[in-house]
Structure 1
C-alpha cells in the first residue's frame, strides 16, 4: 500500500496520475497547503522541504517501508517499481529522464512563477509578468518543436516525462498562452487529457481545493511562514 500526502496542484497531480496509470493501491492524505498543513511535524518528517507530494510505500525495497519526497523522484521510483513508463533500453531511458528533468528544472518552476506574478502576486509588476510570460511561451515552443518530431515528449511511447509535464499545461490560459499557437502541444495535451487514468488522477482531491482568496492562505504559501525555520 502506498500512502500519498498531497494536494490538488500540478505537482500533486503528477503522482496521482502515475498511481492511477500503474494501478497501484494507494491511500490519499490531504495536505492543505493553504491552511499550513505542510508545516506540521508529521509531514515534515516525510517531506523536510515542506512541499507536496510525498509518499510512504509500506512495501518498499527489500519489503521495508520507504518514504520519498520530490515528485520527479517519486515518478522514477513508481516507474521502476512497476516497470512501467520508463524504458529500460539506455537511449530511450535517458531520453525520458532528460525530458523529466526539463520539467523539473524548467517547465514547472517557470510556469509556477508565471502563475504567481500573473494571478497571485498582490502587486502587478509588469517586468515580472512579461519576463515569466515570455519564458512560458519559450518553453511551450521547445515542447512544440519536440512534439513535432515525436508523439510524446521522449519519443513515441507515453512515459513519466509526459506524466510530469501534462499537469503544468492544464492552466495554459493563466500562463498567457494561446494553445492553438502550439499545435503539437495542443495535440499532445488533448490526447493525454482523454486518458481514463489521467481523468481519474486530476480528480483526486479536486473537490477539496479552494480558490486562493483569503489572507491566511496567501501567508501560508507566499508569506513569512514559508521562510521560517520549522
Structure 2
C-alpha cells in the first residue's frame, strides 16, 4: 500500500486523482500545512523542500521502499509503475511531458501567486493583483486555444497532464476568471470533473480543509517559518 502524505490542495489532489484513476491501494496521511506539520523531521526526511505531497512506496523500483516528493515527479512515477496515463511512444510521451511541465512551471506557480495576492496577502497590492490575474487569464487562454483542436491537453487521450492541471482550475473564481471567455477549456473542465475517480480524488482529506486561515496558519504558510534553518 502506498503511503501518501498530503493535504487537500491542488498539488495534493493531483496525486489523489492519479491513485484513484489507477486503482492503486493507498493510505492518506494528513499533513496540516496550516499547523506546521510540513516542518516536522519525519516529513522533511521524505520531502526536504517541506512541501506536500510526498509518497512512500513499500514496493519501489528495486523491490525496496522508495520515497518521492514533488507532485509532477510522483505522477510520472505512478504512471511508470502502472503503465497508465503516459504514452509509450516517444512522440506521445513528450506531448504529455511538455504539458505537464507547463503546469509545473506555469499554471501552478502563477495561479498560486494569483491566489496569494488576491486573497491571502495582508496588504492588497494593485500591481501584484493585476499582474497575476492577467497571467492567469493568459494561461487559461493558452489552454483554451489548445483544447479548441485537441480533446485533451496532450492529445486524444486523457493523461497525467490533465490530472495535473485540473485541480488548479477548481478555484477559478479566486483567480478572477470568467468561464465564458474560455468555452473549450470549460468543456474540458466539466468532462474531467465528471470522472468518478476525479470526484473521489478531490474528496481525499477534504473534510480537513479549513475555510479561513488564522494567524498561526499565515505564519506557517507565508511567514518566517519557511526560512528557518532545519538540520
TM-score in terms of structure 2 length? 0.99
Note if contact 1:34-1:212 (Cα within 8 Å) is conserved in structure 2. no
Note if contact 1:151-1:157 (Cα within 8 Å) is conserved in structure 2. yes
| Aligned pairs (5 A) from 1:6-21 | 6-21=6-21
* 1:169 match: 169
Structure 1 position 127 matched with structure 2 position 127: yes
| Aligned pairs (5 A) from 1:173-184 | 173-184=173-184
Note if contact 1:13-1:202 (Cα within 8 Å) is conserved in structure 2. yes
Matches of 1:140 and 1:229, distance apart in 2: 37
Q: Report how many aligned residue pairs link the two structures.
A: 230
* 2:71 match: 71
Matches of 1:80 and 1:207, distance apart in 2: 30
- Point out where structure 1 has 5 or more consecutive residues left out of the alignment: none
Matches of 2:167 and 2:48, distance apart in 1: 24
| Aligned pairs (5 A) from 1:26-65 | 26-65=26-65
Note if contact 1:212-1:218 (Cα within 8 Å) is conserved in structure 2. no
Q: What is the CA distance between 1:211 and its match in structure 2?
A: 2.0
* 1:147 match: 147
Matches of 1:34 and 1:229, distance apart in 2: 19
SS at 1:34's partner residue?
A: coil
Matches of 1:168 and 1:116, distance apart in 2: 13
Structure 1 position 115 matched with structure 2 position 88: no
Q: Per-residue CA shift, 1:166-216, capped at 9, x if unaligned? A: 000000000000012100110000000000000000000000111232100
Matches of 2:169 and 2:229, distance apart in 1: 32
Matches of 2:122 and 2:63, distance apart in 1: 48
* 2:85 match: 85
Q: What is the CA distance between 1:51 and its match in structure 2?
A: 0.0
Note if contact 1:21-1:198 (Cα within 8 Å) is conserved in structure 2. yes
TM-score in terms of structure 1 length? 0.99
* 1:102 match: 102
Matches of 2:212 and 2:219, distance apart in 1: 11
SS at 1:86's partner residue?
A: coil
Note if contact 1:5-1:53 (Cα within 8 Å) is conserved in structure 2. yes
Note if contact 2:34-2:213 (Cα within 8 Å) is conserved in structure 1. no
- Point out where structure 2 has 5 or more consecutive residues left out of the alignment: none
SS at 1:3's partner residue?
A: strand
| Runs of 4+, deviation exceeding 2 Å | none
